[in-house]
Amino acid sequence: MLRFRWLLPALCLTAIGFDAHADAHDDVRDIRRGLMPVRHELLGYTDRHEFVFRSLECADELGACHADVTTVPPNGEPVEESLLSFDCTSHDSCAVLPDEVAEEFVLAETRVLSQLPDLQGAPQVAVPSSALEALVTGPVTVTVQTRPTAEPGGHGVHTELVARAPNGAEVDIATISTFDGEVEDARLEAAYRSTDGKHVAFVVLYRPGTVCWGPYDKLAFVVVDTAKARARLANASGLVAKRNGEVALARAAFVQASELAPTQAFAWYNRAALSARFGDTHDALESLRRAVKLNKKLAVRACTETDLASIALPATKEKLLRCGAASSTE
């Protein structure tokens, strides 16, 4: 997660947009032409499931121009290697990029890129919002959402990456940033999927504290474990389907959630309850056993679960739950 402690002035600029395959020479040329680009490029994907990006962020009126190589691990903090950090205000304009600064930029890029591990390709997803594969409840839509949060000494906003199912179920799959500003303009710009499909890297473009749209002077990168994200949404969409009376669809969603993320206790528990309702005692007991092994508190909850209580209690279930002992301690 990125966390920023500065506010930017409210300015309306002209967005330059995405420009892949640029290097330091291209960046210097465009900066000196006054284009002030904001762009990124995926350099590749490591065998440790990290995505490596090269980015350039310039905004003359905001007084800064930065270039970085950023390594983004799954569910971890990005690590940045600075290629360029130029204070435009001390030179009248970012377009006045001194020769020595440009030369250092080129040398830094050469050095950092030469130290990168072997990288695999990771194809870009044509529609970033559909980067996660569909569930049994339907297609998954990924969006960027901001929400206010109270911060010491002021108010701020969180930027979250949210996955949504067609029946309205939503789960946060990543926290991208926290700002001290009152307004945050953010959008999902790009997504890249690893060749094995296990991870997706999302790119978010945003500006904090602005009253107009674009351009975006900051890029954020986050990598999501696709199985875990889809499992959480499958479980949530199963609960919505169950409330809507679509019990067959709900059970299918819980089965999918438990298969996608076998360590998700509540997916196994919900699967057990609906398997019991459908008369599949074997699956109900096995799913309940898996749930209780992951979260022992679910044993107590199962003692009063209507769907689980409706099946005959063989000795294996009595031993598993110890309902009498659990109830006496409540």
Pick from 94-103, 183-192, 312-321 the range whose average pLDDT is largest.
94-103
What is the Cα–Cα distance from 130 to 176, expressed in whole angstroms? 18
Rg (CA), the chain: 25
Q: Which of 14-23, 235-244, 299-308 has the lowest mean pLDDT?
A: 14-23
Q: For position 317, what pLDDT does the model report?
A: 56
Q: For position 112, what pLDDT does the model report?
A: 94
Residue from 221, 256, 266, 235 nearest 75 by CA: 221
Q: Is the pLDDT reported for residue 291 higher than 50? A: yes
Is the bond leading into 215 cis (omega within 30 degrees of zero)? Answer: yes
Residue from 129, 241, 244, 242 nearest 190 by CA: 129
**Alpha-carbon dihedral 48, 187, 18, 63, rounded to 10 degrees:** -100
Q: For position 294, what pLDDT does the model report?
A: 94
Q: Is the pLDDT reported for residue 180 higher than 70? A: no
State which H helix or E strand residue 25 sits in: helix 24-32
Q: Take residue 60 and report the two structure tokens written for it.
A: 């003359």
Residues 6+ apart with CB under 8 A from 161: 142, 143, 144, 172, 173, 174, 175, 176, 188, 202, 204, 222, 224
Q: For position 76, what pLDDT does the model report?
A: 79
- Answer yes or no: are the C-beta atoms of 291 and 268 closer than 8 Å: yes
Q: Is the pLDDT reported for residue 327 higher than 50? A: no
Q: For position 38, what pLDDT does the model report?
A: 86
Residues 6+ apart with CB under 8 A from 113: 43, 69
- Answer yes or no: are the C-beta atoms of 217 and 246 closer than 8 Å: no
Confidence of residue 148 (pLDDT cuts 50, 70, 90): confident
User: Taking the model in full, what pTM does it have?
Assistant: 0.84
Q: Is the pLDDT reported for residue 213 higher than 60? A: no
- Answer yes or no: are the C-beta atoms of 138 and 124 closer than 8 Å: no
Q: Is the pLDDT reported for residue 4 higher than 50? A: no
CATH numbers and ranges of domains, the chain: 2-114 (no CATH), 128-225 (no CATH), 229-328 (1.25.40.10)
User: What pLDDT digit, counting tens, does each position of 52-102 carry?
Assistant: 999 998 876 667 889 999 999 997 789 999 999 988 877 778 888 899 999
pLDDT average, residue stretch 35-59: 91
CB neighbourhood size of 286 (10 A):
16
Residues 6+ apart with CB under 8 A from 327: 300, 303
pLDDT average, residue stretch 288-296: 91
219 beta partners: 205
Q: For position 238, what pLDDT does the model report?
A: 97
Residues 6+ apart with CB under 8 A from 217: 8, 38, 57, 58, 59, 62, 64, 207
Q: Which of 152-156, 246-250, 263-267 has the lowest mean pLDDT?
A: 152-156
